[in-house]
Amino acid sequence: MLSGVMADVLIMGIGGITADGFSNTNTLVVSPQRKMIEVSHKVVIVADHTKFGRRAVMPLAPLDVADVVVSDTGLSAEYGDMLRAHEVELLLA
C-alpha cells in the first residue's frame, strides 16, 4: 500500500539508537517504517536521550537514513558526535 505514497517529510519516533543504527520495539511497524523512510524526501527522527545507547528488538535502518534527529538536552555529547559522523543534523529541544 505504501508503494504509491510519496512524502516530503517523515517525522518518526524510534525505540533505540546505537552506532549500528535505529531500531524499534514493535515488530509490526518496522516494515511500514522502512517503506516510509524509502518514499520520504526528508527523514526526521524524534527520540529523547534515553533511547540512545539502547538497542530495541528489531533493527530498522542505519543512521545515515536520517536527515535530522531531534532529542532533548540530556543527550550525551558522544551521541551528538556519533550522529554528526554520519552527517545527521542534531537538534536539541
What pLDDT, on a 0 to 100 scale, did the predictor assign at position 16?
96
Instruction: For residue 73, give Cα distances in angstroms to 14, 21, 65.
Output: 17, 21, 23
What pLDDT, on a 0 to 100 scale, did the predictor assign at position 1?
59
Does residue 71 contact residue 92 with C-beta atoms inside 8 Å? yes
What pLDDT, on a 0 to 100 scale, did the predictor assign at position 6?
82
Instruction: For residue 79, give Cα distances in angstroms to 22, 54, 84.
Output: 13, 12, 9
What pLDDT, on a 0 to 100 scale, did the predictor assign at position 50?
97
What pLDDT, on a 0 to 100 scale, did the predictor assign at position 49?
97
List the grid coordinates of 59: 533493527
What pLDDT, on a 0 to 100 scale, did the predictor assign at position 7?
87
Q: Which residues of the chain have pLDDT under 70?
A: 1-3
C-alpha span between 21 and 92 (Å, rounded): 19
Kindly report the pTM of this predicted structure: 0.91
